[in-house]
Amino acid sequence: MSTTDATAPAPLFDGEAGDEITISASALKALGDRMQRFLLEYRFAMQEVETKLSILREEFVHTHEYNPIEHVSSRVKSVDSLVMKLDRRGIGSDFEDIRANIHDIAGVRVTCAFRRDVYRLFDLLTQQDDITVLEVEDFIAEPKSNGYQSLHAIISVPVFLSTGRVDVPVEVQFRTIAMDFWASLEHKIYYKYARQVPDSLTSDLKDAADLAAELDAHMERLHVEVHGLPEVEVPRGPRVFPS
C-alpha cells in the first residue's frame, strides 16, 4: 500500500480494492461529528414546533379558557435507527439526500381530546407563514385497513444557525386520546408478534378501532351539547395542500 502524504486530509476509508474496507479513526470521528450536527438541526426544528404548540396551548387557556392539547411528545431518531432506515431504503450517506428522502427524523405527536381539536390545531399550526406543508396523510377521514386513525403532516420548519438558515422537515401527528390509546396498544401487540399478528387478533384490533371511533364521536357530541358549540363536520376524502 502506498504511503499517504502527511499533509493530505485523512481518507474516509482505508484499504485496497478487494481488501476488507475499514474506516479510519479520524474519518469516523469526522463523520460522527457531521452526523451529530445534522441531527442537532432536527432537534432545533422539533423544538421550534413544540414552542409553537406551547404558545397556542397557553393562548387558548388564557383567551378561550379551553385547552385543546392534552399532551405533546417528541423524539429525534437515534443514529442507529436512522442508519437502519437508510439501509432499508437504499439511501447513501449524503446528508442532502437523507434530508430529501427521510422526513420522519424529527417527530412530534399532539394528542387532543376531540377530532375537532385535531383539525383546528393542524390549521393553526400549518397556516403560520414560516411553516411549509410538504405532505399530509389524513387517516381520520380515511382510516387504514387495520383501523388506525391519525392526521400526519410533514412540515418544513426554518432553523436559524450561526451558518445561516436551514429548512428542516418535521413529522407532526395529530390524534385524539382514543386514537392514541388504540395506536399504543396496537404497537405493543405488533412488537410482541414481530409484526406477524394472528388474523384473529387483527380482526379484534379492527373492532377495537371502530369502538374507539364511536367513543370519539359520542364524547364529542356530548362536549358540543354541554358547551353549546357549533357542529364541525370531520373532513372526508383527500385534502389538497400546496407542494
DSSP class per residue in 152-209 = EEEEEEEEEETTEEEEEEEEEEEEEHHHHHHHHHHHHHHHHTTT---HHHHHHHHHHH
First to last CA, the chain: 51
Q: Is 41 a catalytic residue?
A: no
Q: Which residue among 41, 48, 171, 186 is the active-site one?
A: 171
- The sheet carrying 132-138 orders its strands as 69-76, 106-112, 164-176, 151-161, 132-138
User: Which of 173, 177, 140 has its CA nearest to residue 154?
Assistant: 173
70-103 burial: b if 16+ Cβ within 10 Å, else e: beeebebbeeeebeebbeeeeeeeeeeebbeeeb
Enumerate the active-site residues. 171
